[in-house]
Amino acid sequence: MIDFSPSEDLQALTKKVANFVREEIVPMENDPRQGPHGPEESLRQDLVSKGREAGLLTPHAPVEWGGLGLDNMGNALVFEAACYSPLGALALNIQAPDEGNVHLLDKVATDEQKDRWLRPLSEGRIRTVFHMTEPDGGAGSDPSLMKTVAKDDGDSYVINGRKWLISGIGAPGVGLNIIMAKTESVSGEELGASMFLLDGDVPGMKIVRTLDTMDSNTVGAHCEVTYDDVRVPKDQILGEPGKGFRYAQIRLAPARLTHCMRWLGQAVRCQEIAVDYARERVAFGKPIGEHEGVGFQLADNETDLHLARLSTWHCAWILDQGQKGRRESSLAKVFVSEALSRVVDRCVQVLGGLGITADTIVERTYRDIRAFRIYDGPSEVHRWAQARDIMRGA
Ligand SMILES: Cc1cc2nc3c(=O)[nH]c(=O)nc-3n(C[C@H](O)[C@H](O)[C@H](O)COP(=O)(O)OP(=O)(O)OC[C@H]3O[C@@H](n4cnc5c(N)ncnc54)[C@H](O)[C@@H]3O)c2cc1C
């Protein structure tokens, strides 16, 4: 039987997070250290300091590496409460890609690697970057198209190639780059993709450009990067050579789900703002929420929020049972990303002209949430994979 009822400790923690975000983080939402390429690193550090003082930092990381050690159901409640504000994820150190990288390092890295990178990451002292996607026909929805190559050169690998849409790399504070590349032996034999761990400052790695994108919620934005004879000592490979795609799957199922949890929090806030407006704003003799055209949009939002939460919790529960949850996380990712996009879109509509101004967080949420239907697998790719499973009776 599925039991979603949270323990008393978890209820208390969720309440603490909700109060912390409302009292400490919401008042910072108009901090001027935010622009089209995201919040500045100094703002992130101020937010992390607040999260640390409150004892709420990195709730998903294991206790031994500096986190609170929550399971997936715990994350579901706490992440939603934290992301009531667009700055809440930074304050609790649960922003992508750092959040997913914590999980990946915890599951695959050696103790030495964990000490070097997982500990400072969990303590909010560094940010991390995940390099997979490529321009010019390389790795994207289909990662097997990867062109970046890491060649075995004796005691190290040498990486050459180009990637783009690499989040977070365009600002100070990066202490770890996780680079995926096709691996070749000394004799040129293909060994499959591997993951490599490199410090923040990497000789031979260059940011070619910072992309101008419709979202603006990532410290360090999204960049195009080149690797020109980047040398990685062999003890900085993550796990075993050739197992990169398997490790990417370990990272993906929980990472998809935590996107659902975070966006749920922000969509709930948008709905609150829309409901307040619909109660206050009078047109044609009554509050606009009493006109069916508006009231039904608010009702549809409640349905989408409710089902998005159920889908997220169900998948969290499955992962907590020790199952891989690949199929469920894929289903949840498609449904939740599309349901919450509908919610935020309706909120813009209910707010009228106010909805397209930056006077509420609805406008930035509308811009930021669009990419959720693309990253960690576009909706169509998830549907295609599901359809393939259906047709072969899997
Ligand atoms: C905001 C944001 C942040 C990102 N951050 C990172 C990051 O930090 N690191 C990183 O490595 N990458 C990152 N990405 C890249 C992201 O992972 C890719 O955009 C995603 O995997 C899709 O790849 P693509 O952009 O190359 O799209 P393409 O592979 O070119 O696909 C284009 C479209 O084709 C359609 N399509 C593809 N395959 C199928 C199919 N089988 N059936 C039906 N339709 C299909 C889909 O509609 C898809 O949207 C980020 C992307 C965004 C938008």
Lowest-pLDDT range, 209-218, 271-280, 319-328? 319-328
Judging by DSSP bridges, how do beta strands 156-167 and 205-210 pair with one another?
unpaired
- Is residue 371 within 6 Å of ligand 1 at its C-beta? yes
Closest by CA to 366, choosing from 350, 377, 382, is 350
Ligand 1 atom with least separation from CA of 141: 29
- Is residue 130 within 6 Å of ligand 1 at its C-beta? yes
Q: Whose CA is nearest to atom 7 of ligand 1?
A: 166
Residue 388 CA to ligand 1 centre (angstroms): 19
Q: Quick one: fold of 8-122?
A: Butyryl-Coa Dehydrogenase, subunit A; domain 1 (1.10.540)
What is the mean pLDDT of the segment spanning 354-381?
A: 98
Cα within 13 Å of Cα(376), Cβ side: 26
- Is residue 385 within 6 Å of ligand 1 at its C-beta? no
pLDDT for 101 equals 97
Closest by CA to 20, choosing from 49, 43, 61, 62, is 49
Q: What is the pTM of this model?
A: 0.97
How far are the Cα atoms of 208, 232, 257, 364 from residue 204, in angstroms, in the given order? 12, 11, 34, 35
What 3-state DSSP class applies to 352? Answer: helix
**Distance (Å, rounded) from C-alpha 258 to C-alpha 56?**
17
Percent of the chain with pLDDT over 90: 95
Beta carbons within 8 Å of 107's beta carbon, 6+ residues apart? 247, 250
Q: Quick one: fold of 245-391?
A: Butyryl-CoA Dehydrogenase, subunit A; domain 3 (1.20.140)
- Is residue 145 within 6 Å of ligand 1 at its C-beta? no
pLDDT for 326 equals 87
Beta carbons within 8 Å of 293's beta carbon, 6+ residues apart? none
Q: Whose CA is nearest to atom 42 of ligand 1?
A: 381
pLDDT for 252 equals 85
What is the mean pLDDT of the segment spanning 153-166?
A: 97
Total Cβ atoms within 10 A of residue 259: 26
What 3-state DSSP class applies to 378? Answer: coil
Domain boundaries, the chain: 8-122, 127-241, 245-391
- Is residue 384 within 6 Å of ligand 1 at its C-beta? yes
pLDDT for 48 equals 98
- Is residue 165 within 6 Å of ligand 1 at its C-beta? yes
Residue 117 CA to ligand 1 centre (angstroms): 27
What is the mean pLDDT of the segment spanning 247-255?
A: 89
Beta carbons within 8 Å of 392's beta carbon, 6+ residues apart? none
Q: In the structure, what pLDDT confidence band is assigned to residue 352 with cuts at 50, 70 and 90?
A: very high
pLDDT for 201 equals 87
Tokens encoding 8: 């008393």
**Distance (Å, rounded) from C-alpha 28 to C-alpha 115?**
33
- The pLDDT of residue 394 is above 90: no
What is the mean pLDDT of the segment spanning 168-183?
A: 98
What is the mean pLDDT of the segment spanning 21-27?
A: 98
Tens digits of residue pLDDT in 200-250:
989 999 999 999 999 999 999 999 999 999 999 999 999 999 999 999 998
- Is residue 97 within 6 Å of ligand 1 at its C-beta? yes
What's phi and psi for 65, nearest 5 deg? Answer: -105, 10
**Distance (Å, rounded) from C-alpha 35 to C-alpha 349?**
24
**Domain at 127-241, CATH from 2.40.50.140, 2.30.42.10, 2.60.40.10, 2.40.110.10:** 2.40.110.10
Ligand 1 atom with least separation from CA of 371: 53
- Is residue 95 within 6 Å of ligand 1 at its C-beta? no
Closest by CA to 258, choosing from 347, 375, 167, is 375
Helix H or strand E segment including 230: strand 222-233
Beta carbons within 8 Å of 393's beta carbon, 6+ residues apart? none
Q: In testing the pocket of ligand 1, which one of 145, 165, 217, 251 has its CB within 8 Å of the most ligand atoms?
A: 165
pLDDT for 322 equals 92
Ligand 1 atom with least separation from CA of 96: 8
Residue 163 CA to ligand 1 centre (angstroms): 13
| DSSP-assigned beta bridge partners for residue 227 | 161, 205
Q: Whose CA is nearest to atom 51 of ligand 1?
A: 375
